[in-house]
Chain A
Amino acid sequence: MIKAVLMMNTQGKPRLAKFYDFLPVEKQQELIRGVFSVLCSRPENVSNFLEINSLFGPDSRLVYKHYATLYVVLVFDGSENELAMLDLIQVLVETLDKCFSNVCELDIVFNYSKMHAVLDEIVFGGQVLETSSAEVMKAVEEISKLEAASNSISLVPKSVSGWRGR
């Protein structure tokens, strides 16, 4: 089971944090800080895997990937395959890239709800739900379309909804 999906920038600022078991805010912060301090002490060109029992309890592993200014981190238990998790990160980022076309850190900050929509399509309640980035895109686009539709009727003037459409 996947325990958490984290994105943080290279300065340790969390950009996205989703824990699949409820944790109080303080604990979440502690874990984010802990993960960051481990990650930033890792040298270049080493493996992307870490055992992280000291933070997340026994049998916890962590896979991370470093993109430009961002770390994408998955924390999971022994029932998952490390290499596959590494590719799941890739699936997530590829999907985000399709969503935002050349995804950058700013996209993640400003599109919080869309980020979560993408993530919820891929990982659901701690289990990997969908790994085909095309399928995820289809679902997310449909959501945006319907959201926009209901939005333009009830809320926002047309001109705004025009550029909210994507």
Chain B
Amino acid sequence: MEQLKTIGRELAMGSQGGFGQSKEFLDLVKSIGEARSKAEEDRIVLSEIDILKRRLLEPDVPKRKMKEYIIRLVYIEMLGHDASFGYIHAVKMTHDDNLLLKRTGYLAVTLFLNEDHDLIILIVNTIQKDLRSDNYLVVCAALNAICRLINEETIPAVLPQVVDLLNHQKEAVRKKAIMALHRFHRKSPSSVSHLISNFRKRLCDNDPGVMGATLCPLFDLISEDVTSYKDLVSSFVSILKQVTERRLPKSYDYHQMPAPFIQIKLLKIMALLGSGDKSASEIMYMVLGDLFRKCDSSTNIGNAILYECIRCISCIIPNPKLLEAAADAISKFLKSDSHNLKYMGIDGLGRLIKISPDIAEQHQLAVIDCLEDPDDTLKRKTFELLYKMTKSSNVEVIVDRMIDYMISINDNHYKTEIASRCVELAEQFAPSNQWFIQIMNKVFEHAGDLVNIKVAHNLMRLIAEGFGEDDDDADSKLRLSAVESYLQIISEPKLPSLFLQVISWVLGEYGTADGKYSASYISGKLCDVADAYSSDETVKGYAVSALMKIYAFEIASGRKVDVLPECQSLIEELLASHSTDLQQRAYELQALLALDARAVESIIPLDASCEDIEVDKDLSFLNGYIQQAIESGAQPYISERERSGMFETTDYHSQDHHEVPSHALRFEAYELPKPSGPPQASTELVPVPEPSYYSEPHQPVSTSLVSERESTEIKLRLDGVKQKWGRPSYQSTTSASSTPQQAANGTTTHSDGGGGGAGSSSSKPRSSYESKKPEIDPEKQRLAASLFGGSSSSRTDRKSSSGGHKPGKGTASKPATIPKENPIPVQPPPDLLDFGEPTATTVTSTDPFKELEGLLDSSSQDGGSTDVMGLYSDAAPVTTSTSVDSLLSELSDSSKGNARTYQSQASKGPNSKEALEKDALVRQMGVNPTSQNPTLFKDLLG
């Protein structure tokens, strides 16, 4: 028994190859593996660093020891500690003649150094020498290092040799030389621009590995410049054809697929070349069709190729047959149980939907399932798809969904993205302003700190401008509803700063406008805000400005203002504020309270935030004063350029004057000094009054100037986006959005005639369909209908567009007299049944429910990872033939059969028998940890 152990141990070492490391290294790995906390691990690594520092300095370290030290350094750095003290030893090791040491040196160096590191200069020479070596492995190692360590300046030093290597007799070298050249191209395209023809030449290499490698640089080159590679279309197509016909060596088969990775790369290249090119696309039809037919959709890699075909078809100019094949493949993906395939299906749908918008309708329920899937990745992909297919008929449902999801996640990065998408969709397709405000409120409430400040300005502008000039009643309703919603929200804790700014501004402008709320009520609320968010100066500034407006409106309308005690204390607090901006506002408010009604009205007129304000930018009213001053001996004004170096804050002015280039003064000079960050930002974003130098202190208009400037600030920002908001332009957007769909309908024989009589019949088909299929959640159906069919009945003007989504059948233009209950399921629905009906159509024709049921039963088709693992475990017998196993299998022969079955059952997770054997071996060697960390040494593959 003792003897057996020793044999086993020796064999284990043999089979493990690198277990020959010293006890020290094994101990290190073991103790790190057992470390229970990061701190403990750090302690171990730090002491290891100390040891290594000492050892490396010892004279005459044996080379083999040195190699181990270098590996230990790499290990340390992988754990996140600085190993730079040993870099130089790694560099030295690359000079060694011994292949093992040289390779170790190169490995360490490529992991340690970046291309601009100082030590690189010591390596370039070695690389040059190694590229000329007779031993091809040395050449390969050098090429490997080149990819990582050569920068733009050092490329010329090695370039000629790399080019020579393109014709090396070993294919491994040719392959790597191509990749090195590709890397050069990525780093500095100009350095290798004269060598690009080499890539074309290597495409004809008789080694498939080299050919496959050449596709990588060609893909990059073609994506940069399609036109000069059009001549290669037929070559790529014929290569792909040969690959699919299994002309490549058997060793390139992967899971019974001939060279799938090469096929995928080829399809990617073809997608680039065929995009927008009818004749190039036509060459590809044949081989693409073949691929669809031949591809084995039961393996992961087969599906990868299918997906790539779909992607290719969505890029080139497809023919209907291919589109159909692609749609079929997508529906297979979507119906699969595997999340991976569903993901690919959703992605493919998103690509194909641009070409044939009606394809999504067949898959509506699958899409909704994906939307409700617990898998976040899939959910996000589905939201991306929905984002692509949003139109005015389904915007409400989609944005609602997005917001629900946005609220539920914590990932700020994605939250920002989805919030901006919500805003974008809402701005583009908003059915009503009220809805828009509601959506904005939600976005601000839950992601307020993440959205762009512009969004807030847009919202304020919308509320200020309303529907347009002709409908004051609607405007004030809109404002009232905004004010009401804000008064509800305002008392909620922890609102985002940006949202509070909007709230304060709106309450200030319109809080009392309707007479529904008293000034003291609103001002009380504003004081609460300023109180509750006392650390946020911007919000406070907004609140004080809003207070000022409210009091101004009160004074102007002749009512007596009684300032609430909390307002009074707020003002007093701000008068002594550290922020000059807040101080200024407080002083202005105080000054305003003392003025009479007429003066106040001219300072802050009621609801005038949209009025254009005449600003005398010449300050001509000061001319007399200046003249007088000059006459009495004052110095005339000297421009900034002449007084360079004197940093004046006058660049604020130049910012404002920018918009009027016709102005006589020279403003360019003012741009030179960059305005300091924060104050600049606040002038940009917030209508902050200018610091006091702006207005002459003795001018009584100072406050008015300031507030007028506020309004201009806002007004200026509103320009250019206006047409999105007025009612007429809103309609034009929708009509624009519906045109592509109609254009797509043009390919079907369906004419868009039935808009008028649509409303009455719209609900019928769905009700019949519901009664037929009671087992499907009606909630889901409604969702599907609203997403895909546009069931919301209120907007007749958009119906025609949503009604256009019928599957293009020849009979689609039948008259509306067909009874609602279709006796034959395949019969297409009448044309006049409008939106809401596409749901029914697809249901009757494809019957997805039945298929869904079928899918539930077919659990045999296992999803991606497990499936592949299953395949893999079939291949496992190869591995059992090693000496260790054969030796030990005699000992445990009886358990062998069990282990086999176990293996095939539980494809994931450790293989118990082999794991135990290995564990036992490892234990003998004294490196196995105690039970604290039992999972560490489990088998990787079951």
Binding site for B on A (CB under 8 A): 9-11, 13-14, 16-18, 22, 25-26, 28-29, 32, 42-43, 45-51, 53-54, 65-70, 79, 81-84, 86-88, 90-91, 93-94, 96-107, 109-114, 116-117, 120, 124-125, 127-135, 139, 142-144, 146-148, 150-151, 154-156, 160, 162-166
User: Are B137 and A129 in contact, with the CB atoms below 8 A?
Assistant: no
230-280 of chain B: CB within 8 A of chain A: 251-252, 254-255, 259-262, 264-265, 268
Given contact pairs A104-B918, A111-B17, enumerate 11 new A-B contacts (beta carbons under 8 Å): A46-B377, A81-B311, A102-B882, A102-B941, A104-B939, A125-B147, A142-B137, A146-B99, A154-B98, A166-B14, A166-B15
In the bound complex, how far is the Cα of B413 from the Cα of A53, in angstroms?
Answer: 8
In the bound complex, how far is the Cα of B140 from the Cα of A143, in angstroms?
Answer: 10
135-161 of chain B: CB within 8 A of chain A: 135, 137, 144, 147-148
Binding site for A on B (CB under 8 A): 10, 13-21, 25-26, 29, 32-33, 63-64, 71, 74-75, 77-82, 98-100, 103-104, 107, 111, 113-115, 135, 137, 144, 147-148, 172, 175-176, 179-180, 182-183, 209, 212-213, 216, 219, 223, 251-252, 254-255, 259-262, 264-265, 268, 300-301, 303-304, 307-308, 311, 338-340, 342-344, 374-378, 380, 411-414, 863-865, 868, 872, 875, 878-879, 882, 884-885, 908-911, 914-915, 918, 922, 927, 933, 935-942
In the bound complex, how far is the Cα of B213 from the Cα of A49, in angstroms?
Answer: 25
Chain A contacts for B414, CB-based, 8 A = 54
Chain B contacts for A54, CB-based, 8 A = 411-414
Chain A contacts for B255, CB-based, 8 A = 87
Secondary structure call for the B interface: helix
User: Are A106 and B922 in contact, with the CB atoms below 8 A?
Assistant: yes
What is the number of contacts between chain A and chain B, taking CB atoms within 8 Å?
Answer: 283
Q: A54-B411, A84-B301, A86-B300 are in contact. Are A101 and B941 (CB under 8 A)?
A: no
In the bound complex, how far is the Cα of B346 from the Cα of A51, in angstroms?
Answer: 14
User: Are A79 and B219 in contact, with the CB atoms below 8 A?
Assistant: yes
In the bound complex, how far is the Cα of B309 from the Cα of A84, in angstroms?
Answer: 13
User: Are A51 and B380 in contact, with the CB atoms below 8 A?
Assistant: yes
Chain B contacts for A102, CB-based, 8 A = 879, 882, 885, 911, 914, 918, 939, 941
User: Are A125 and B98 in contact, with the CB atoms below 8 A?
Assistant: no
Chain A contacts for B882, CB-based, 8 A = 101-102
User: Are A155 and B261 in contact, with the CB atoms below 8 A?
Assistant: no
Q: What are 28 A-B pairs at a CB distance below 8 A?
A: A13-B32, A14-B79, A16-B78, A17-B78, A46-B374, A48-B340, A51-B377, A66-B908, A68-B909, A68-B938, A68-B942, A69-B936, A69-B940, A86-B340, A87-B254, A91-B254, A93-B941, A101-B884, A103-B939, A111-B17, A113-B18, A114-B18, A124-B176, A125-B182, A128-B261, A131-B260, A154-B98, A164-B18
The listed residue (A22, A69, A83, A151) touching B300 by CB distance below 8 A is: A83
Q: A81-B308, A87-B260, A87-B300 are in contact. Are A155 and B64 (CB under 8 A)?
A: yes
From A162, which residue of chain B is reached at the shortest CB distance? B14
The listed residue (B115, B137, B254, B339) touching A146 by CB distance below 8 A is: B137
In the bound complex, how far is the Cα of B938 from the Cα of A11, in angstroms?
Answer: 13
User: Are B77 and A147 in contact, with the CB atoms below 8 A?
Assistant: no
In the bound complex, how far is the Cα of B64 from the Cα of A45, in angstroms?
Answer: 46
User: Are A127 and B17 in contact, with the CB atoms below 8 A?
Assistant: no
User: Are B179 and A125 in contact, with the CB atoms below 8 A?
Assistant: yes
User: Are B99 and A147 in contact, with the CB atoms below 8 A?
Assistant: yes
CB of B243 to closest CB in A, whole Å: 12
User: Are B939 and A124 in contact, with the CB atoms below 8 A?
Assistant: no
In the bound complex, how far is the Cα of B334 from the Cα of A25, in angstroms?
Answer: 41
User: Are B377 and A28 in contact, with the CB atoms below 8 A?
Assistant: no
In the bound complex, how far is the Cα of B149 from the Cα of A22, in angstroms?
Answer: 9
CB of A87 to closest CB in B, whole Å: 5
User: Are B209 and A132 in contact, with the CB atoms below 8 A?
Assistant: yes
Chain B contacts for A26, CB-based, 8 A = 80
Shortest beta-carbon contacts, A-B, top 5: A83-B304, A54-B413, A22-B114, A47-B339, A125-B147
User: Are A90 and B868 in contact, with the CB atoms below 8 A?
Assistant: yes
Chain A contacts for B265, CB-based, 8 A = 128
In the bound complex, how far is the Cα of B75 from the Cα of A65, in angstroms?
Answer: 23
Q: A132-B254, A135-B209, A150-B98 are in contact. Are A98 and B340 (CB under 8 A)?
A: no
In the bound complex, how far is the Cα of B377 from the Cα of A42, in angstroms?
Answer: 10
In the bound complex, how far is the Cα of B580 from the Cα of A28, in angstroms?
Answer: 44
From A94, which residue of chain B is reached at the shortest CB distance? B872
User: Are A112 and B74 in contact, with the CB atoms below 8 A?
Assistant: yes
CB of A44 to closest CB in B, whole Å: 9
